[in-house]
Amino acid sequence: MNSANSAIAARSFRVRDFLDFGKQYGMDYCFDGLPSGGDHVDTGAGETVVARGRIRELALPSGFRFTGSELEVFHRYRSISLGHAPLLIVVVLEGRIDLSVGAVRRSLHAGEAVSLQLRPEHALEASQPAGQTLKTLTLAFDPACLHRASPESSTLTSLLQGIRRPVLGWRVSSALLSQLEHGLDMAVPALQKNLILEGLALQLVGHGLPEEGEFPDRDQNGSARERQRLEAVRQLLEFAPTEEYTLEGLAQHAAMSASSLRSKFRATYGVSVFDYLRQCRLELGKRYLEQGYSVQQAAHRAGYRHATNFATAFRRVFGVSPRALH
């Protein structure tokens, strides 16, 4: 064919369709009020229509992959990504999605985006509320393409390896949004379409990576670069609160001494390094409780070895027993 495929027709997506997606792309799906879990879904639940609309995907020669969806959502559902991507950018064109990685939570509305590195040990959860038209565009980069010899991929490799912020939220310009909204549906020859989408992918990467001077203000806590290193530690704790950390290891990550990290972190954020880690773990545990996990399960998933320690800390911070949320 000399021209791109015509627009994909709208269709209904049932529970079984989402579970098939999950098997193909390494994702788990959960549905409000409906049983899920692969082969254990009963026939009735598997045929329940969760959404109606279009989902399309296009892999580019460079290693970028676009996935666009336009759905009318009937049942709230959550997707849990278990794969790996050195760069994942999610753009909301219409509607709202709620994202979480570790203790990091972001609600994205129309015109907003988030950039992150996806790793199996830190699953990305996305919740899509019911009763809305949801239009999103996702850009992922294939990790197998990181070490290609081309100058473009070498530059991208350097950029991705230099990312210090695990999750970055940002607003997309109206001009770029307009191009993204129609990018996957352009009725042009395939080669031309690929070139245009390659350009859009690079624009997204250019806007969606933190700048070197992201923290330009100088204050009594030190230089902009020092503040950036402190912020990298803070977001590491927020992104992966279940990991085991030492002050010395975090200080090495921040390129400063342990005593400097201890004093400067408290001066900047008002709490000690490990008090902040505790807050992140408790927030993560609270989310697991809200999802129906037992107190013991939530404690272990949040990085606590003993549920009693979790319950004591939880009550001290939130003023209620964790069982009150279960």
Position 112 in a domain: yes
Residues 48 and 176 in one domain: yes
The answer as to whether 17 is a domain residue is yes
Which of the four pLDDT bands, split at 50, 70 and 90, describes residue 104?
A: confident
Q: Is a pLDDT exceeding 60 seen at residue 151?
A: no
Q: Do 204 and 229 reside in the same domain of the chain? A: no
- As a whole number of angstroms, the distance between CA 213 and CA 102 comes to 26
Residue 2 has pLDDT above 90, yes or no: no
pLDDT digits (tens, 9 = 90+) for 111-120: 999 998 877 7
Q: Give the torsion sign (CA, 110, 283, 125, 32).
A: negative
The predicted structure's pLDDT at residue 210: 61
- Domain end, chosen from 173, 208, 243, is at 208
Q: Are residues 47 and 101 in the same domain?
A: yes
On whether both 26 and 130 belong to a single domain, the answer is yes
Outline where 130-246 has alpha helix (H): 151-161, 174-183, 190-208, 224-239
pLDDT (tens digit per residue) in 120-146: 767 789 999 999 999 999 999 887 765
* Residue 191 and residue 252 in one domain: no
Q: CB of 186 within 8 A of CB of 193?
A: yes
* Residues across the chain: 326
Are residues 85 and 128 both part of a single domain? yes
The pLDDT value recorded for residue 247 is: 95
The per-residue pLDDT for range 196-243, each reduced to its tens digit, is 999 999 999 888 876 543 433 434 444 778 888 898 899 889 888 998
For residue 171, report the phi and psi dihedrals to the nearest 5 degrees: -105, 135
In terms of domains, do 314 and 265 share one?
yes
The answer to whether position 217 is within a domain reads no
Report, in angstroms and rounded to the nearest whole number, the Rg of the chain calculated over CA atoms.
22
What confidence score (pLDDT) does residue 85 get? 80
Residues 174 and 245 in one domain: no
Q: If pLDDT is split at 50, 70 and 90, which confidence band does 97 have?
A: very high
pLDDT at 320 over 70: yes
Q: How many domains does the chain have?
A: 2
For 84, the domain range is 11-208
d(CA 36, CA 90): 25
Are 55 and 202 part of one and the same domain? yes
Q: Are residues 293 and 160 in the same domain?
A: no
Domain boundary, last residue among 142, 176, 208: 208
pLDDT at 147 over 60: no
